[in-house]
Amino acid sequence: MRFEVIKKGSHRKERAAILTLPRGPVETPVFMPVGTLGMVKTLTPHEVKDLGYHLILSNTYHLYLRPGLDVLKAFGGLHNLNRWDRNILTDSGGYQVFSLSKLTKILKEGVLLRSHIDGSKHLFTPQKVLEIQGIIGSEIMMPIDVCTAPKVTVEEAISAHDHTLQWAGESKVYFEEHLGQTGSTLFAITQGNFYFDVRKMSIESLVEMNFKGYAIGGVSVGEEKTLTREIIDFSTDYLPEEKPRYLMGVGKPSDLIRGVEMGIDMFDSVYPTRVARNATVFTRNGSLILRNQSNQLSSMPIEEACSCYTCKTFSRAYLRHLFKTGELLGLKLATLHNLHFIKVLMDDIRKAILEDRYGSFVKEMAPLLD
């Protein structure tokens, strides 16, 4: 992996870079669509490529359970199974420590997870998590960490930090011994909940270990938006400028614009595709709910200026009809639009940075901001 910053803006901390990975370069700032189980819901790999994406995210925990390691090994990794020939980042399963907290137990050696499918128990050690990701064959791997809920005590935040730091060191040793020659890259995940001193301690300790990239974990887990942004802005002040900064689990248009402003290079989230499947689509004037009665007779596309297949072909009335009747095509068409919208937004963000007009761009995007 190589990361080259080619332009720093003068507005705040925005920057444009090239992230070079084994299956092709990725221009940043970049949004990664989430394909939890191997591919973005409702879309084919070809459709995701046609939208212009070069990097997607998949989930280690979920792929480990289904289709399982035997299937992944038989196909020589996820790329051969799902026929996606561009880059994949796999998260570690650390988010499931938070989202499936009733099914997890944190131990010194790792996380004991009970399957949400059949209740079977699985110990995710730092070594096991990277072994799984090696079988998946992802280009960017994440170590196991502890993601905590808002309003935990400082003692709980420090304990989560201590586990995360210990496991990061063990992960780095395992990666260098077993996966260092595969072409894959290992990032670190900073934690610390919403305690600024614990965040600083996490970042400084992990930076000292010299990872290839750094993620900000443990945000967008139910806290106030202002606190989220304060933590992100604080974190990027301490993260290395010469390495990629990845904000995990954030993907609303407003958060992408503000995140770039605070120096973030990489984003992922289920938000654009999840809300699409629930009939909510993005426009430059804010979100549109396709099920609303006001769309029943509308011959307009979702957005007049949009060049996606959905907007070039179908009316709001037809899209509303699809959702009201439960037709699966509605899910696909709304997903295509939202991911096209996000890709164009990220392209416009990058262009504004390269032309050093990000401050004015943010003002132009005021209808999208919260």
DSSP state for residue 222 in the 8-state scheme? S
Token look-up 């009970």 returns 114
Element (H or E) spanning 366, and its range?
A: none
> Using one digit for the tens of pLDDT, what is the confidence trace for 58-102?
999 999 999 999 999 999 999 999 999 999 999 998 778 778 888
Cα 15 to Cα 48: distance, rounded to the nearest angstrom: 25
Considering 91, 145, 255, 265, which one is annotated as catalytic?
91
**Residue 40 confidence (pLDDT):** 98
303 and 284 Cβ atoms separated by less than 8 Å: yes
The predicted pLDDT at position 99 comes to: 81
pLDDT confidence bin for 228, thresholds 50/70/90: very high
Q: Give just the sign of the alpha carbon dihedral 85, 91, 96, 98.
A: negative
Two tokens, residue 149: 């809920």
Least confident of 2-16, 93-107, 156-170, 344-358: 93-107
The alpha carbon of residue 16 and the mean position of all alpha carbons in its chain are separated, in whole angstroms, by 18
Report CA-CA distances (Å) from 212 to 46, 56, 176, 208.
Answer: 30, 18, 12, 11
Look at residue 220 and tell me whether its pLDDT is greater than 90: no
Other residues' Cβ atoms within 10 Å of the Cβ of residue 26: 25
3-state secondary structure of 184: coil
From the list 65, 90, 195, 209, the residue with the least C-alpha distance to 144 is: 90
Kindly report whether the peptide bond that precedes residue 29 is cis, defined as omega within 30 degrees of 0.
yes
Is residue 10 classed as helix, strand or coil in its secondary structure? coil
Distances (CA, A) of 181 to 51, 77, 89: 31, 16, 17
Q: Mean of the pLDDT values across residues 252-270?
A: 98
Cβ pair 221, 98 in contact under 8 A:
yes
Count other Cβ atoms within 10 Å, centred on residue 227.
12
Give the chain's mean pLDDT.
96
**Tens digits of residue pLDDT in 180-215:** 999 999 999 999 999 999 999 999 999 999 999 999
Please, are residues 14 and 353 in contact by the beta-carbon 8 Å criterion? yes
- Identify the CA nearest to 40 among candidates 260, 251, 347: 251
In this structure, are residues 335 and 40 in contact, taking their beta carbons and an 8 Å threshold? Answer: yes
Looking at the whole model, is its pTM more than 0.95? Answer: yes
For residue 221, what pLDDT is reported? Answer: 85
Q: Is the dihedral of CA 21, 27, 29, 34 positive or negative?
A: negative
Q: Computed over its alpha carbons, how large is the radius of gyration of the chain?
A: 20
Catalytic, out of 145, 255, 265, 268: 268
**Ordered domains of the chain (ranges, CATH):** 2-265 (3.20.20.105), 270-364 (no CATH)
268 has catalytic annotation: yes
Residue 278 token pair: 């629930």
Structure confidence at residue 103 as a pLDDT band (50, 70, 90): confident
